[in-house]
A = this chain, B = another copy of it.
Amino acid sequence: MANVAVLGYGTVGSGVVEVLERNKAEIRKNAGEEISVKYILDLRDFPGDPFEDRVIHDFNRILEDDEIQVVCEVMGGVGAAYQFTKQCLMAGKSVCTSNKELVARHGTELLALAREKCCNYMFEASVGGGIPIIRNIHNSYTAEQIRAVTGILNGTTNYILSKMETEHADYTEALKQAQELGYAERSPEADVEGHDACRKAAILSALVTGREVDTERIYTEGISGVKPADFEFAAGNGMTIKLLAVCRILEDGKLSAMVAPFMLSGNHPLASVGDVFNGVLVSSNMLGDTMFYGRGAGKLPTASAVVADVVDCVQNRGRSVMAGWGCGKAEMADIEECERLFYVRTAANAFGTAAKAFGLNAEHIARQECLRDGEYGFITPVMKEKDFRGKCLELGDVILSRIRVM
């Protein structure tokens, strides 16, 4: 029998205990032995809880108990969670986590420590919730050169954008609905400004390059500037708008990573990932495009991903199996040099000037569209980020909206 400890008895922590209990038989069969919760560490007591007797307040009891070989860190944050994780790994105990902030910030060190101590630091639940994307990048692309990973990695923003698209809601209304349903927090910045997706992009980028990627070096833009008129243009052109994390290995081997709203064709595999779902598209040189789709958040899907890692740790006692990434920073491409199409919305009286500034020819003008309120939307020719930004600065306030086009 394998004994595990759960650090934090909040939403995910109680989910981990529930998954271990409800799917006991399957887990036992897959792990090759029973997995039992011996300790639940929390500051609070839980009188009346069926697992009340496992709740402890002293982390050292876990650390000093040789029976505990796997620890689930589902507390969140980068303070105590970081210290506890480090101490567990130092003691040769594997750690499974859903804590994307910690993985993004200290993953390199923690992975190195796990390798040194022949145990594992696993974090399937940190990206894409219940979508097994990390396990897949590690196990399923062993005969591939991965060229890009593009993902809808944040359920809150995907819900908001889906509402704006299907119900023609504006951003504030859609955010309010998301908050009422518990999909968005009262302080929604981490989600709507793209910080959550950025952490996940950093983790995926590190896995793909095999090197550390700082969140600070990933250009990140949120969705609060997206307007109903932009969805109107998108719909008229068979497109939609999604907050995408785009991690791409360029020809020169550098990593181009970005989180931003993108307009993408309705035929794009990620276009149909709606509501709170997440989707991750992996592009590799032999397989082409493969996509993974599922619930990106939620108590049980996230907990199930943590438990799948626990099973993996139990199956591989004494072996460090998930490579993760090594030391050294990934070399980042200069985003400013990246070339793409851009969508631009202008006031009616500014369309002529703007079109001229972006050098639109007859073919491009054919893709313009007159929107509600007499505004105009159009797609620029392919241009570099820096040139696009330069033009926008020149044109100033007449540019009402701008969104990258995938």
Total interface residues on A, CB under 8 Å, equals 47
Smallest CB gap from A306: residue in B: B143
Chain A, range 263-307, C-beta contacts under 8 Å to B = 267, 269, 271-272, 274, 284-295, 300-301, 303-305, 307
Contact of A290 among B19, B20, B292 (CB under 8 A): B292
Q: Which residues of B contact A285 (CB under 8 A)?
A: 22-23
A131 within 8 A of B: yes
Point out the residues of chain B lying under 8 angstroms from A58, CB to CB.
none
The answer to whether A308 and B140 touch across the interface, beta carbons within 8 angstroms, is yes
Q: Which of B20, B136, B295 contacts A287 (CB 8 A)?
A: B295
Chain A residues proximal to chain B, CB less than 8 Å: 19-20, 22-23, 26-27, 30-31, 130-132, 135-136, 139-145, 267, 269, 271-272, 274, 284-295, 300-301, 303-305, 307-308, 310-312
Most B CB atoms within 10 A — which of A31, A293, A305?
A293
Instruction: Decide: A130 and B288 in contact? CB cutoff 8 A.
Output: yes
CB nearest neighbor in B for A133: B140
Measured in the bound complex, the distance between the Cα atoms of B311 and A85 in whole Å is 31
For residue A26, which residues in chain B have a CB less than 8 angstroms away from its CB? 142-145
Which residue of chain B has its CB nearest to the CB of A15? Answer: B286
Supposing A143-B19, A144-B23, A291-B294 touch, asked if A301 and B286 sit within 8 A by C-beta, the answer is yes
Please name the residue on chain B nearest to A30 by beta carbon. Answer: B142
Q: Is the CB of B293 within 8 A of A293?
A: yes
Residues of B contacting A289 in the complex (Cβ-Cβ under 8 angstroms): 293-295
CA distance A130 to B285 in the complex (A): 12
Q: In the complex the two chains form, what is the Cα distance from A145 to B27 in whole Å? A: 9
In whole angstroms, how far apart are the Cα atoms of A26 and B301 in the complex?
31
Q: With A142-B311, A142-B312, A145-B23 in contact, is A304–B292 under 8 Å at CB?
A: no
In the complex, how many angstroms separate the beta carbon of A270 from the nearest chain B beta carbon? 10
Q: Taking A19-B286, A289-B294 as given, write out 5 further A-B residue pairs in contact, using a Cβ cutoff of 8 Å, ordered by the A residue number.
A: A136-B140, A144-B308, A267-B274, A290-B293, A292-B292
B286 touches A23 (CB 8 A): yes
Interface centre among A27, A132, A269, A274 (most CB of B within 10 A): A132
